[in-house]
């Protein structure tokens, strides 16, 4: 009898000890694990869209947003009781840094601008929210409740259903906006002057025609800054800085968010090129007739 009591006491101590792992993952921990893997997958998809398909360059630092959640998921699988909270805090930090960028904020607030980016960003937000809520809850549960008494909380299923609905609804919204785009915002003139509007990472129109002797007004409609110079990006993603004869020099002139920049006059007929040194592929061709 005494031996049985001692075995039960040892098993109980193992289950409640904060310094040792539990024998099985709780339902909350399993959801946290899946959300961490979803975050890593979504960030990887974003890297592919942003670095490979859109801007044609890759920065190894981008991998941190994918590798870190994977490492957190691996630690959680070891069943140490504090690992769900670690994953939650790590994902929260990554997402905070991620969405602090004005360009990414623009994609999120303009669903029709780049629908694929919008969908992936919504997916990242949903996975982040799930990871934070379930990760912190799982950690509290691991320390407060005996392993054999860790059922899934009653709010878990409704929460997941609501977030799935949000993801589906926001995705449909992005598709609807993309299918029915608003006016681009580009205007042939602003207060009687020829103008071109700047988006988050492109010119609203890639070609503009000017009469000889006129000026051109560049209007930035976003909070994203641009560095405008003479020249253009090649199809391979290489910037070529070159001012054609007769072109107004733009070197080191920055267009800040919400500002406008007047260039010219263009006194020579011909074709001139302007590009943004910050955003690969952002080219404007000016044809003076």
Range of lowest pLDDT (36-45, 68-77, 114-123): 114-123
Mean pLDDT throughout 56-60? 59
What is the predicted pLDDT for the residue at 178?
Answer: 65
Number of H helices, E strands in the chain: 7, 10
pLDDT tens-digit series, residues 131-140: 999 999 999 8
**What's the half-sphere exposure (Cβ side, CA atoms, 13 Å) at 128?**
22
What is the predicted pLDDT for the residue at 58?
Answer: 58
Q: How confident is the model at residue 184 (pLDDT cuts 50, 70, 90)?
A: very low
3-state secondary structure of 250: coil
Q: Could you tell me what percent of the chain has a pLDDT over 90?
A: 20
Range of lowest pLDDT (66-70, 84-88, 123-127, 187-191): 187-191
3-state secondary structure 144-182: HCCHHHCCCCCCHHHHHHHHHHHHHHHHHHHHHHHHCCC
Q: How confident is the model at residue 234 (pLDDT cuts 50, 70, 90)?
A: confident
**What's the half-sphere exposure (Cβ side, CA atoms, 13 Å) at 176?**
6
Q: Is the pLDDT of residue 94 over 50?
A: yes
What is the predicted pLDDT for the residue at 4?
Answer: 44
Mean pLDDT throughout 198-208? 84
What is the predicted pLDDT for the residue at 70?
Answer: 92
What is the predicted pLDDT for the residue at 86?
Answer: 94
Q: Is the pLDDT of residue 187 over 80?
A: no
Q: What rounded mean pLDDT belongs to the chain?
A: 79
Q: Is the pLDDT of residue 123 over 50?
A: yes
Q: Is the pLDDT of residue 18 over 50?
A: no
What is the predicted pLDDT for the residue at 17?
Answer: 47
Q: How confident is the model at residue 196 (pLDDT cuts 50, 70, 90)?
A: confident
Domains and CATH numbers, the chain: 12-179 (no CATH), 189-288 (2.60.40.420)
CA distance 202 to 225: 11
């Amino acid at each position: 009898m005494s031996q049985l009591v001692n075995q039960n006491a040892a098993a109980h101590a193992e289950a409640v000890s904060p310094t040792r792992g539990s024998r099985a993952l709780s339902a909350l921990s399993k959801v946290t694990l899946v959300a961490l893997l979803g975050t890593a997958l979504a960030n990887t998809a974003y890297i592919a869209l942003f670095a490979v398909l859109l801007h044609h360059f890759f920065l190894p630092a981008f991998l941190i947003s994918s590798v870190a959640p994977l490492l957190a998921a691996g630690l959680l699988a070891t069943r140490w009781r504090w690992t769900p909270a670690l994953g939650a805090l790590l994902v929260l930090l990554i997402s905070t840094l991620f969405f602090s960028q004005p360009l990414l904020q623009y994609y999120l607030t303009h669903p029709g601008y780049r629908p694929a980016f919008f969908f992936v960003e919504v997916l990242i937000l949903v996975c982040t929210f799930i990871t934070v809520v379930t990760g912190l809850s799982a950690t509290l549960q691991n320390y407060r409740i005996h392993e054999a008494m860790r059922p899934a909380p009653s709010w878990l299923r409704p929460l997941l259903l609501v977030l799935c609905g949000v993801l589906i609804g926001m995705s449909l919204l992005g598709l609807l906006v993309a299918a029915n785009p608003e006016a681009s915002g580009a205007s042939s003139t602003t207060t009687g002057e020829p103008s071109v509007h700047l988006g988050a990472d492109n010119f609203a129109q890639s070609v503009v025609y000017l009469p000889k002797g006129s000026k051109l007004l560049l209007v930035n409609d976003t909070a994203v800054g641009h560095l405008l110079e003479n020249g253009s990006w090649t199809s391979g993603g290489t910037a070529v800085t070159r001012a054609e004869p007769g072109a107004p020099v733009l070197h080191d002139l920055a267009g800040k968010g919400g500002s406008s920049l007047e260039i010219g006059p263009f006194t020579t007929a011909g074709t001139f090129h302007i590009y943004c040194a910050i955003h690969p592929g952002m080219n404007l061709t000016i044809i003076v007739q």
